[in-house]
Amino acid sequence: MTGFVSIAQVQTSTRFSIPLKGHFDPATVDSLDFPVDLYTIEAPSPDGPSMRSELLRRKQAQGARFPRKHRTSAPASTAKAPSDSVDVVDGRLLFRQAGPITVYLSGSIPSDNTLALSKDGILATAYNSALVVQNAQTGADLFPNTFVGLGLIALEFATGQSNFFDPKLLYDPLRDRFILVFLRDNTPQRSLVIVAFSQTNDPSGAWNTYALPGDPLNDSIWTDYPALALSQSELFITGNRVLPGQPWQTGFNGSMIWQIGLDEGYAGADSLDARLWSGVQHNGRFLRNLCPVQHGGVPDAEGIYLLSNRNFDAVNDTTFLVHLTGNRNNPSTQLTTEAWVADSAYGLAPNAKQSDSDTTNPASGFDTNDSRVLGAIQIGAEIQFVGNSIRFQTGLPGVYHGVMNLEEHRLTARVLGHPQLELGYPNIAWTGSETCQPQSLIAFNTTSPTDFAGTAAIEYRNERSYSALTPINTGFDYVDRQTGLSERWGDYFGIQRDFNRPGRVYTAGYHGLIGGNNGIYVAQLASADSLAFDMEVVLEGVSAFCEARVQAVPAGGKPPYTFQFDGVDVGGQSWSDGYCPGDSVEVTATDAYGCTETQKIRVDFDSALPRPSVFPNPFNDRFSARFELMSGAEVEALLFDAQGHLIRRLVDRALDAGTFEIGFHTTSLRAGTYVFLLKVNGADLTTETLIKPY
């Protein structure tokens, strides 16, 4: 049973003025054959070490409750099945050339891959702990060096042995700019949220850098795990508040939401006006890991939706919808929460195994962390989201995909998996052309005891079904970078739609390298789902006798189509007739997905298709004659019988410039042959022989 419970939370928000701290220009970075980047080998664990210990305890219990049932077979093929609707256009590992040596980029642990793609085809990719900017098509580096460490971007904020981690990238399609957010250090005294705005649409140019306080309420808490989304005018940044040195029950102290103006950041204003929301709760319990919902296409509204869940639970069917209703400067902006119950549950995901993993030990393998919401997009009145989950039937890690219908207050969900591959750290992007098309692409990391770490994708189709799993890349070897049983696999996955080409998506995921290392694999994917829905309206048979036909010609979308003419449903009939000159007709076509196209057309002679000057011929009970005057003139229209006798003077008058049609009812005429003569200013313009059949 699905449903929801809504609660208006009375929140106390805080205003901040964040000063501009610096500018970073990649052109100032020395071009060296062997760039040097110093970083801590492992970034802080999400939500602190006490959470990691509790997660392992719960995963041990989860493994006992849902035993693993892994298929043992040959490695999964990279060939696509006929039912696939995802096309891997191209892909490559990120690397730098050090003289004659090719070095694949790896970075610290975990990789934390993220990307952003501009309309001009510039691709920015970040990972722990560096930024790479390339030509998306050719892979050519646009930085003087292949990569720039996050520490150089945040040089004004580097004190002592600073550790920079958890990068997140966004592209703003409205303003054609880039945003990079990452963290500094994991103690209350040193915690910062670094926010960098590109000054132009070229991310290889200069950036403006600001630092949000990691302990903004001065209560000895540090900020962890940032997530980003854009509204029409604002950047939203969420983060978890973590108390150091506390057990898991008290170490988490809620999530917070920053609202920041975009234009000030791009312009390099002396300070950013920011609004902070903290202590977000539902029914008196903190909501954790708030995931802001990104618009599937171009942001077109103020405010933001955010999602949360009970990410530690063995089995749960509830997702929380948080709504910030408006701009930070709007005094009526408020925060509300709703608890939505899905038709399918999610659960704490087990660790994913690779070839050197102990399948009997829950601590062994790639760490899947918890089952928080990792990515979310809004498409019209729907929100789609993804996260890690256990597959209850097999005990293997899979992907939880939820669809929230905001109008019907309905949440449907499914846990996606594969007979052999183990899945983790999904993210999602919209591949449709119109908001009535829910199609999206879900991409994630993959592994198995017989398949080296790589990535894959599944498409959620417009007809609400799923494609087969399509492998994107498969690693060269198993990964072994940490001492102990587990390896860090995430903590997230990069994905973005190509705003210039609907149906195209770029991803940045994981790849097992030879020698136990891991790399970053960037790929371009294409959807084969439906084209944009369109319609042409054709006007036929315009005459003085109200016999015009309006024909709808749909294209794209998904048939069968249904039609309305002036609000009247005519089912699958694509035409309606009996219209007179001067009538206006509104035509609406709807495809099987519910996409609609509406056009309004006026019935007049100029919009009719070319036809004979006198029609029909032969005629029965009427005929029409159409003519055009370039300027005012005296017009005569005469009808004669076959012997040349005048039957009737149809028109004899002065007319202004324009297009005209003469209509004559001929019921009283006998069968035979007639001649129609049109004279303009005394000169014969048209002579037509007409036949009325016997």
DSSP annotation string for 457-521: EEEE-TTS-BPPPEEEE--SS----SSSSEEE--S--EEEE-TTSTTEEEEEEEEEPTTS-EEEE
The whole-number pLDDT of residue 534 equals 86
Quick: pLDDT tens for 308-330: 999 999 999 999 999 999 999 99
pTM of the model: 0.83
pLDDT for residue 11: 58
> What does residue 371 show for φ and ψ, rounded to 5 degrees?
-110, 35
**Predicted pLDDT of residue 5:** 45
pLDDT at 3: 46
Over residues 370-375, the mean pLDDT reads: 97
Q: Could you read off the pLDDT of 513-563 as tens digits, one per residue? A: 999 999 999 999 999 776 678 899 998 877 656 778 999 999 888 899 999
pLDDT at 611: 43
pLDDT at 4 over 60: no
Give tens-digit pLDDT for 26-75: 888 765 433 444 445 567 778 777 777 888 888 888 888 999 886 655 44
For the sheet containing 14-24, what is the strand order? 164-172, 177-184, 192-198, 207-213, 14-24, 271-278, 252-261, 234-242, 222-230
- 305, 323 contact by CB (below 8 A): yes
pLDDT in tens, 267-300: 999 999 999 999 899 999 999 999 999 999 999 9
Tell me, what's the pLDDT at 8?
A: 43
CB 358 within 8 A of CB 485: yes
Q: Which amino acid is at 260?
A: I
Maximal CA-CA distance, the chain: 114
Q: Which one is predicted more confidently, 613 or 119?
A: 119
Where would I find the H helices in 73-201?
150-153
| Residue of 147, 1, 52 whose CA lies nearest to 368 | 52
pLDDT at 81: 47
Please tell me whether residue 606 adopts helix, strand or coil conformation. Answer: helix
Could you tell me which residue, 628 or 208, shows the higher pLDDT? Answer: 208
Using 50, 70 and 90 to split pLDDT, how confident is the model at 694? confident
Percent of the chain whose pLDDT exceeds 90: 66
Mean pLDDT of the residues in the chain: 89
- What is the second-level CATH architecture of the domain 614-692? Sandwich (2.60)
| The pair of three-digit structure tokens given for residue 545, joined into one six-digit string | 């006798």
> Which residue's structure tokens are 């036809």?
611
CB 164 within 8 A of CB 184: yes
Query: How much is the pLDDT for 638?
Result: 93
Segment among 24-38, 113-127, 335-349 with least mean pLDDT: 24-38
- Mean pLDDT, residues 86-91: 94
Backbone angles phi, psi at 620, to 5 degrees: -115, -80
pLDDT value, residue 660: 85
pLDDT digits (tens, 9 = 90+) for 92-111: 999 988 778 889 999 889 99
Task: Report which DSSP code applies to 42.
Answer: B
Specify the residue for token string 């494609």: 467
Q: pLDDT-derived band of residue 25, with 50, 70 and 90 as boundaries?
A: very high
3-state DSSP assignment of residue 617: coil
Distance, in Å, from the CA atom of 333 to the CA atom of 585, rounded to the nearest integer, reads 42
Which has the higher per-residue pLDDT, 4 or 444? 444
With bands split at pLDDT 50, 70 and 90, how would you rate the model's confidence at 605? low
Cβ neighbors of 116 (< 8 A, separation 6 or more) are 123, 124, 169, 170, 171, 178, 179, 203, 496
Domain ranges of the chain: 3-75+89-527, 534-607, 614-692
Topology match between the domains 534-607 and 614-692: yes
- So what's the pLDDT on residue 610? 39
**Superfamily assignment of 534-607 in CATH?**
Immunoglobulins (2.60.40.10)
Q: 3-75+89-527 belongs to which CATH class?
A: mainly beta
Distances (CA, A) of 651 to 202, 369, 397, 633: 70, 87, 84, 12
Q: 641-648, long-range: CB within 8 Å, 24+ apart, which pairs? A: 641/672, 641/673, 641/674, 641/675, 642/672, 642/673, 642/674, 642/675, 644/675, 647/674
- Which residues have CB under 8 Å from 187's CB, separation 6+? 222, 244
DSSP label at 141? B
pLDDT digit string (tens) for 650-693?
999 999 888 888 888 888 899 999 999 988 888 877 788 889 98
